[in-house]
Amino acid sequence: MTESGERVNWRALLNPYFLQVFGICLFGWTLANMDQAFFGYAIPPIKETFSIGDPEIGLILSASFLAAAFFIVVAGLLTDRYGRRMMFTVFLAVSALMVGLFSLAETLAMLVFLRLVGWCLCSGMVPIINSYVVEASPARFRGFNAGILQIGYPLGWFIGGLLAVELMGNPAVGRSVGAFLESLGLLSAEAVQGVGSWRLLFMVAFLVIPIAVVLYWFIPESRRFLAEKEAQEASAEAGMTARDRIALLLSKQYIRRVSLGWIASLTFGGAYAGTAFFFPTFFHEVRGHTLDEANLIVGVSYGIGAIGYIASSLVGEFLTTRRNTVAIWVFIAIPICAAVFWLDLGLEADIALMAAMTFFFYGTIAVLQTYLAEVFPTRVRATAVAFVAGIGINIGFAVYPLVVGALAEIIGWRWAFTVTVLPSLLLTGVSTLFQINVRSGERLEDISD
């Protein structure tokens, strides 16, 4: 029973079609995030390899996020036109290819190019997987399921962290792989050893390509998408153009949701990007941990903190609304973030505080993206997720790493995090409280219109 007295039919979660869509989306999203996490873990040795500093890393991150802010709208439009299934496979496979090619990059220009294209394609999966799961889920569990889907973020970073510790800290692997690559004429044996061991980490991404191809044959197209497409083809207004979809989102009916969604997405995305990719560097350079210890802190914290994604989904679905849950989670996260930035209590304390921060701070995305996905109609949902959450988050991703990286050179990492992240989280919570407040479990059509 829920708070309102409604009986919850848990057996609805056993629907084979839903389980198939959800399982494959979660698996694919975890792999995509694992690939992208490699860059964060490899930043310290990449800086040494290419003789660059934190401002340059911030610029690389910002450029990739800015490009993705525009590309993600294209991805949403393509997904609403050609379907979720094909775009899911194409984006997962090609983004993995770009990440894998990092291992062969010999110039900074090539590294930047691969980062730009790879992140654009990975970001393009956001409207695909969110639309897929929202449309396949039973209404009562839609928010919970979409929230669980978001644990692909911490799971990907958790797996990436374990691989970083194993591959970047294992000279024997470097010698074996280096000899093999040299025999193929791709890289010298020394290029993947010592400081260059970061290249081994990116090679793992090549394994994702055949997996993506196999997943295409197992994931069905969204039934709701097919029904909507059939209805549009049969109607006098068949075939909404990209301009039609954007115009609907900017209409009086939806402009308030779009505007507030942009504010929340930008500030939350910025706060996330301004910390996540820099934490391995922070714990290594500021706290004095070894690179292996720094990667372990971040990786294990993501694994433990993944519970926060599940918890926020449960609270938003069964105890209160998703709007309220976003505000609660970010307001609790603010003092915990401050503790992570300023308290130096040793390895175990760093892991505990990072896990708590991940639980509330990063766990917020589980309900924030679900909320933004469900308040728009099916015919423009993927476009809306891209246009609102995608653009907002990626612009935040583009701006904050550049600002934080530059500030770190001037006022240090602690103050750089403090003056950018904490006010942003406060604004995320406040702007969300001005959004419409809808009861969890309503039919998509009732909420959207």
CATH of the domain at 290: 1.20.1250.20
pLDDT in tens, 65-78: 888 878 877 887 88
pLDDT in tens, 390-403: 778 878 888 888 88
Quote the pLDDT of residue 1: 47
The answer to whether residue 377 sits within a structural domain is yes
* Nearest CA-CA partner of 195 in 40, 41, 45, 44: 45
Residue with token string 């075939």 = 239
Number of domains in the chain: 1
The answer to whether residue 236 sits within a structural domain is no
Predicted structure pTM score:
0.74
Structure tokens at 10: 């848990």
Taking residues 294-315, what's their average pLDDT?
A: 87
Residue with token string 């929340």 = 264
Provide the residue range defining the domain that includes 146. Answer: 15-220+245-448
CB 364, CB 330: distance < 8 Å: yes
Quote the pLDDT of residue 3: 47
The answer to whether residue 2 sits within a structural domain is no
Cα–Cα distance measured from residue 336 to residue 358, given in angstroms and rounded to the nearest whole number:
9
Maximum pairwise Cα distance, the chain: 68
The answer to whether residue 7 sits within a structural domain is no
Quote the pLDDT of residue 414: 94
pLDDT higher than threshold 70 for residue 282: yes
Quote the pLDDT of residue 354: 93
Cα–Cα distance measured from residue 118 to residue 431, given in angstroms and rounded to the nearest whole number:
31
- Give me the percent of the chain exceeding a pLDDT of 90: 24
The answer to whether residue 8 sits within a structural domain is no
CB 405, CB 278: distance < 8 Å: yes
CB 314, CB 405: distance < 8 Å: no
The answer to whether residue 240 sits within a structural domain is no
Structure tokens at 418: 């403090």
Q: Which of 9-23, 342-356, 376-390, 433-447 is modeled with the greatest confidence?
A: 342-356
The answer to whether residue 233 sits within a structural domain is no
Which helix (H) or strand (E) segment is 304 a member of?
A: helix 291-314
Binning pLDDT at 50, 70 and 90, where does residue 446 land? Answer: low
Distance, C-alpha 344 to centroid of its chain: 28
Structure tokens at 125: 């999966």
The answer to whether residue 408 sits within a structural domain is yes
Binning pLDDT at 50, 70 and 90, where does residue 239 land? Answer: low
